[in-house]
Amino acid sequence: MFRHNKHGGTLARFKLHSTAGLHGQVVSYVFMMDSYYIGVDVGTSSVRAGLVSSNGRLIDYCSRPLQIWHYGSDYYEQSSKEIWTNVCEVVKSISDKIKDKKTVHGMGFDATCSLVALNSNGDGVPVNKFQDPNRNIIMWLDHRAIKQAELINNTGHEVLRYVGGALSPEMQAAKLLWLRENLPRVCWNETSVFLDLPEYLTYKATDQLTRSMCSLVCKFNYMGHETQKPAGVKAAEPGEHLGQGLTKIAAEQMGLWEGCPVGCSLIDAHAGGVGVIGADASGSGLPCENQPITNRLALVCGTSTCHMAISEKPMFVKGVWGPYYSAMVPGLWLNEGGQSATGKLIDHLVENHPAYREVQEFAKTKGTSTYEELNRVVIHLSNQKGLMNPAFLAQHFHVFPDFHGNRSPIADPNLKGMICGLSLTCDIENLAVLYVATMQALAHGTRHIVQSMNASGHDINTLFLCGGLSKNSLFVQTHADITGMPCVLPRESESILLGAAILGACASGHYGTIQEAMKKMTAIGDIYLPDDRFKSFHDKKYKVYHQMLKNQDEYRQIMDDQK
């Protein structure tokens, strides 16, 4: 059964999922209130800023694209200089329309968990053999350090218990080891400090090298629950006021006031969690109503998907990162599952299909997006064939989604994607079937993660989704049907920006705690309920998902056998 608060009917309205935001678009409003916060989100391919009211409404918004250097299969790099320039531009686009700058009471930053290398002057240090100092960031999805991660995992160190038993090549320790081994002169010896990208943003804004507990714990493997802090390192919890606020230089660059409070940063997925997981569920009829927020799972869905579950006590889940203390919500533990490629996988499979250009042209003639048109094709084919649900289009077509390795719960970066059901057909119908099967595969991955979490002590019964993919109704409904759990969307679709703004609200002193701010500034929007009529079908597809995982492991064993 499907419930949609604004648009009636099953899958009544589809929206284009976007991992990049609305590049360059500025929405202008008349500012009536006198208390605002600015949230800044640096995603994989764009920088965004949002002006948020004290009750959590997005008032204004601006975005700029980011350059990515991608070479080989595993190398992804960016420029911290370009990122900071774009940060200042998007904030200034908003602040220029605010007559009284002092009505902005605080600001917060989030960003991808990418590694930034800086020299003693704060300038970039190259992280590649090309020796280009502008390319001083190893991006979060970069997998150059797979061998280094394996080396660390072979140590059996106690810290590995707090990353699900295996360190990912996406974490900073593996990347740091790669730099030391491969670029000792060009990078390692020239670098004064390595920062997580969210920490770099607050450093540029406040001139303070205060480290974020979120970044330290989740990406640098610091044990946040230990009472002894690392020597010479100043760390702060999410939303904690940093230094004296915005420096004079940063304030001028952004068009804000010197001293404007700045909250300690979060990784982008964690900001999304803050922006969605704490909404008041009173009167919703959801399973999580009148229960603690520990019964909820936040899915932050974009280029990748992060699955954020919090608990009062540490939960050790094999293949799932954490437990991390005070990494997202101060005082609570966090487990973080994830899929390394979700929106990126959909784009990859759809855009490389021979029929993609045809769908794209149809969309242009109708003035709609490519994904809106593709969703329309899915519904049309389902009705044409007399199917009870679009899911049945992929009854005999199966996708295993780990094209960029498995982050959770298998924790194997060497896993690959698989497709079963290919033929010589390459028309629009074939593309639609591939598209539906890919959506199902990603939802099966989420089901696998949720089952692993609940088997290890969590009691998750409701999914809260945000991010670009959550704007695609087919993606959301498929997750509800396959997991058997309600999927809740936020009132404000830009929940990651809202999460960043909440950090600023806490830094300003307007709210005493992150939890208080989450409850007051976030709200439930549309709700998608699972359709139990198709449970048997999805259970069978889930068995196929696990069989494909088993088959891939068997193929490896056959080919690696030295006999």
| Confidence label for 228 from pLDDT (cuts 50, 70 and 90) | low
161, two tokens: 């218990």
Residue 226 pLDDT level (bands cut at 50, 70, 90): confident
- pLDDT of 174 > 60? The answer is yes
pLDDT in tens, 122-131: 999 999 999 9
Q: In the predicted model, what is the mean pLDDT of residues 286-314?
A: 96
What is the pLDDT at residue 295?
A: 97
Provide CB contacts within 8 A for 327, sequence distance 6+: 213, 214, 217, 218, 224, 270, 334
Sequence letter at residue 141 = L
Pairing of strands 36-42, 104-111: parallel
Quick: pLDDT tens for 412-424.
Answer: 999 999 999 999 9
Q: Which of 14-23, 105-114, 216-225, 498-507 shows the lowest per-residue confidence on average (mean pLDDT)? A: 14-23
Mean pLDDT of 357-382: 96
The pLDDT, as a whole number, for residue 27 is 40
Question: Which band of pLDDT confidence, cut at 50, 70 and 90, is reported for residue 32?
Answer: very low
Phi and psi (nearest 5°) for 551? -65, -40
Question: How many CB atoms are located within 10 Å of the residue 207 CB?
Answer: 16
Give the three-state DSSP class for 401: coil
Q: 265: helix, coil or strand?
A: strand
Tell me if residue 472 falls in helix, strand or coil: coil
pLDDT of residue 15: 32
H-type helices in 124-196, by residue range? Answer: 146-153, 172-182
161 secondary structure, DSSP code: G
pLDDT digits (tens, 9 = 90+) for 52-62: 999 999 999 99
CA distance 405 to 414: 5
Q: What is the mean pLDDT of residues 429-439?
A: 98
Q: Are residues 193 and 349 in contact, defined by beta-carbon separation less than 8 angstroms?
A: no
Rounded to two decimals, the pTM is: 0.90
Sign of CA dihedral 305, 239, 260, 234: negative
Which DSSP string do the residues of 192-241 spell out, in sequence order?
SEEEEHHHHHHHHHHS--PEEHHHHHHHS---TT-SSPPTT--EE-TT-B
Exposure pattern of 97-115 as b/e (b: 16+ CB <10 Å)? bbeeeeebbbbbbbbbbbb
| Cα separation, 85 vs 524, whole angstroms | 34
Question: Domain 36-279: which topology?
Answer: Nucleotidyltransferase; domain 5 (3.30.420)
Angle between helices 428-455 and 535-560 (to 10 degrees): 90
Note the pLDDT of residue 92.
98
Q: How confident is the model at residue 229 (pLDDT cuts 50, 70, 90)?
A: low
Please report which confidence band the pLDDT of residue 28 belongs to, taking 50, 70 and 90 as the band edges: very low
Asked whether the predicted pLDDT for residue 401 surpasses 80, the reply is yes
Question: Where is 428: in which H helix or E strand?
Answer: helix 428-455
- CB 266 within 8 Å of CB 105: no
Residue 233 pLDDT level (bands cut at 50, 70, 90): confident
Look at residue 541 and tell me whether its pLDDT is greater than 60: yes
All structural domains of the chain with their residue ranges? 36-279, 343-489+531-561
Q: What percent of the chain has pLDDT over 90?
A: 91
pLDDT at residue 138 in the model? 98
Of 262, 208, 214, nearest to 237 by C-alpha is 214
Distance CA 194, CA 197 (A): 9
User: Which amino acid is located at 547 in the chain?
Assistant: Q
As a 3-state breakdown, the chain gives helix, strand, coil percent values, each rounded to 5, of: 40, 20, 40
The DSSP 8-state label assigned to residue 327 in this structure reads S
Decide if 21 contacts 8 (C-beta within 8 A): no
Q: What's the mean pLDDT in 74-83?
A: 97
pLDDT at 17 over 60: no
- pLDDT (tens digit, 9 = 90+) per residue, 438-496? 999 999 999 999 999 999 999 999 999 999 999 999 999 999 999 999 999 999 999 99
Average pLDDT over residues 536-544: 98
Domain at 343-489+531-561, CATH class: mainly alpha
Extract the tokens encoding 334. 């966090």
Task: Find the range with the poorest average confidence among 14-18, 335-339, 453-457.
Answer: 14-18
What's the rounded mean pLDDT across residues 499-517? 96
Q: What is the pLDDT of residue 563?
A: 74
Please state, in angstroms and as integers, the Cα–Cα distance from residue 506 to each residue in 54, 213, 251, 445, 499, following that order: 11, 16, 19, 35, 11
Q: Tell me the C-alpha distance between 294 and 337, whole Å.
A: 15
pLDDT digits (tens, 9 = 90+) for 34-73: 789 999 999 999 999 999 999 999 999 999 999 999 999 8
pLDDT band at 224 (very low <50, low <70, confident <90, very high): confident
| Termini Cα distance of the chain | 54
Confidence of residue 29 (pLDDT cuts 50, 70, 90): very low
125: region left, alpha or beta (phi > 0 left; psi from -120 to 50 alpha): beta
Q: What is the mean pLDDT of the chain?
A: 93
Q: Tell me whether the omega of the peptide bond preceding residue 409 falls within 30 degrees of 0, making it cis.
A: yes
